Amino acid sequence: MGGAFCEFFAGIGLVREALGASGWSCAYANDLDPKKRELYVGRFGDEGHFHLGDVWGTADVVSRIPGRPALATASFPCVDLSLAGRGRGFEGSHSSSFFGFVRALEALGGRRPPLVLLENVAGFLTSAGGRDFEAAARALAGLGYRLDAFTLDAAMFVPQSRPRVFVVGVDDRGDPPNAPPRSSGGWLVDAWTERMDSADRRIRPRRLVELMRSIDLPTGWLAFDVPAPTGNPPGVDTAIDRDDGQDWWDEAAVAKHRAMMHDRHRERIDAMVAAGETFVGTIYRRKRDGKTRAEVRFDGVAGCLRTPRGGSARQIVIVVEGGRLRMRWMSPREYARLQGAPDFPLTGRAGQDLFGFGDAVCVPVVQWIDRHVLSPASASIERPARAAGARSLPLGRQPDARAATPDDAGGERDEHVA
């Protein structure tokens, strides 16, 4: 299906990577990080619509958006909503740039897209005890959007654990099929309630459903039919290069990390080496009880990619093969594969490439949302644009300071919300 869309917090462009495949065309992209832009342009070319600037520059943003786009996406900074952000939530200067996005939507007036998509970490549901999620939902409802929210983990598609929360908004120009609204009759068990009650908890965790039930929006909630994919994603071994040409560590570095393992991890690894078995896995270094541990994942899934700021945020590859134990830093190409963009052009500067992919969305996840939510909703929007009734915009708790740094420090852990 598709149409023109605006990609806010565009980063390296993996939302576009996902949506482009089904006919959506990017009319405007915004991000303030020139290093992310370099990766974006390396992939999509310099078409002139990438606006390198602050989302809070509302007049500038709005003047660059052509016509009336069909969709606006916002995978806004997660650092204040993730464990790394020390719980600042929307009081923090990074994640509160969401309200810069809302302000731009409001300023678009009759050119406001009928569809919006938000993406963020699972901490979005718990930040400020749920009040940040509520503030975001109310801000979008104040612009006339009916909302739905669900979670998807990249591990359903690729060998990377990356649970994420998605919020979809559809204004009254859309009448999406098979997305019943929540009825206002308190006792009635409506189709919305049935869908919430019978949902796969990986898609609609109880915490999220409770939040949605407790937030009474002026526009209301919808319930799209978002299935969980069936079938097993490939194992992490399919994303990892095992040839001798890789930057494998010397014996001392391997021995150091082997020594940093929990006893039971080290025993398991040693047994596989002794038995000549083959094993491909990943390691994160984490502080546990004041000690730095090298934690091995044995489940065939890589840990959540993060933006590398220090050794603890960068993932390590571990391979046991032919009686040998090898380790090295995970490469940018492997990061790209784990985000579902295996052939994405890299800059060749590892730090920049890892930073770009560590912050990005996972391509097949967004494609799944497109197939089951965005494209069906977009197809239901047939009526010509009419000036959206300008409702007052409850911007929630306004940030004291705006995002001033170009980076969105990641560092979130694999956050589960069930």
Ligand X SMILES: C[S@@+](CC[C@H](N)C(=O)[O-])C[C@H]1O[C@@H](n2cnc3c(N)ncnc32)[C@H](O)[C@@H]1O
User: Residue 47 corresponds to which tokens in the numbers above?
Assistant: 């078409």
- The piece of 49-57, 201-209, 244-252, 297-305 that touches ligand X (CB under 6 A) is 49-57
Give CA–CA dist 341/17, Å, rounded: 8
Count how many Cα atoms sit within 13 Å of the Cα of residue 211 in the half-sphere of its side chain. Answer: 28
| Cβ-proximal residues to 371 (8 Å cutoff; 6+ apart), any chain | 22
Q: Which listed residue (408, 412, 414, 415) binds ligand X by CB under 6 A?
A: 408
Three-state SS at 232: coil
Q: Which listed residue (14, 70, 280, 374) binds ligand X by CB under 6 A?
A: 14
Q: Which listed residue (5, 9, 44, 150) binds ligand X by CB under 6 A?
A: 9
Nearer to ligand X, 33 or 414 (CB): 33
Output the residue with the shortest Cβ distance to ligand X: 11
Following CA atoms 132, 37, 348, 45 in sequence, which dihedral angle do they give, to the nearest 10 degrees? 130
Burial of 276 (0-12, 13-18, 19+ CB in 10 A): exposed
- Percent helix, strand, coil in the chain, to 5, is 35, 20, 45
- Asked if 36 is part of the footprint of ligand X (rule: CB under 6 A), the reply reads yes
Site string for ligand X, 340-359 (x = CB under 6 A): -------------------x
Nearer to ligand X, 124 or 192 (CB): 124
Nearer to ligand X, 39 or 272 (CB): 39
Nearer to ligand X, 80 or 148 (CB): 80
Nearer to ligand X, 34 or 186 (CB): 34
Q: Closest separation between CB of residue 188 and ligand X, Å? A: 38
Nearer to ligand X, 79 or 149 (CB): 79
Site for ligand X in 57-76 (CB under 6 A): 75
Element (H, E) at 325: strand 324-329
- Asked if 96 is part of the footprint of ligand X (rule: CB under 6 A), the reply reads no
- The piece of 29-37, 147-155, 240-248, 312-320 that touches ligand X (CB under 6 A) is 29-37
Give CA–CA dist 366/17, Å, rounded: 9
Q: Closest separation between CB of residue 357 and ligand X, Å? A: 8
Nearer to ligand X, 82 or 219 (CB): 82
Give CA–CA dist 119/171, Å, rounded: 18
Q: Closest separation between CB of residue 57 and ligand X, Å? A: 8
| Cβ-proximal residues to 10 (8 Å cutoff; 6+ apart), any chain | 16, 29, 30, 31, 36, 40, 50
Nearer to ligand X, 174 or 332 (CB): 332
Q: Which listed residue (54, 148, 353, 415) binds ligand X by CB under 6 A?
A: 54
Residue 227 and residue 372 in contact, taking contact as beta carbons nearer than 8 Å? yes
Closest residue by Cα to residue 171 from 103, 96, 107, 110: 110
- The piece of 141-149, 235-243, 374-382, 401-409 that touches ligand X (CB under 6 A) is 401-409
Q: How far is CA 17 from CA 118, 125, 375, in A?
A: 16, 27, 15
Site for ligand X in 124-153 (CB under 6 A): none
Nearer to ligand X, 319 or 360 (CB): 360
DSSP designation for 317: E
- The piece of 28-36, 181-189, 245-253, 268-276 that touches ligand X (CB under 6 A) is 28-36
Going across the sheet that includes 4-8, the strands are 50-52, 25-31, 4-8, 71-74, 115-121, 163-170, 146-153
- Asked if 11 is part of the footprint of ligand X (rule: CB under 6 A), the reply reads yes
| Residue ranges in contact with ligand X by CB under 6 A | 9-12, 14-15, 30-33, 36, 54-56, 75, 77-78, 97, 100, 359-361, 403, 406, 408
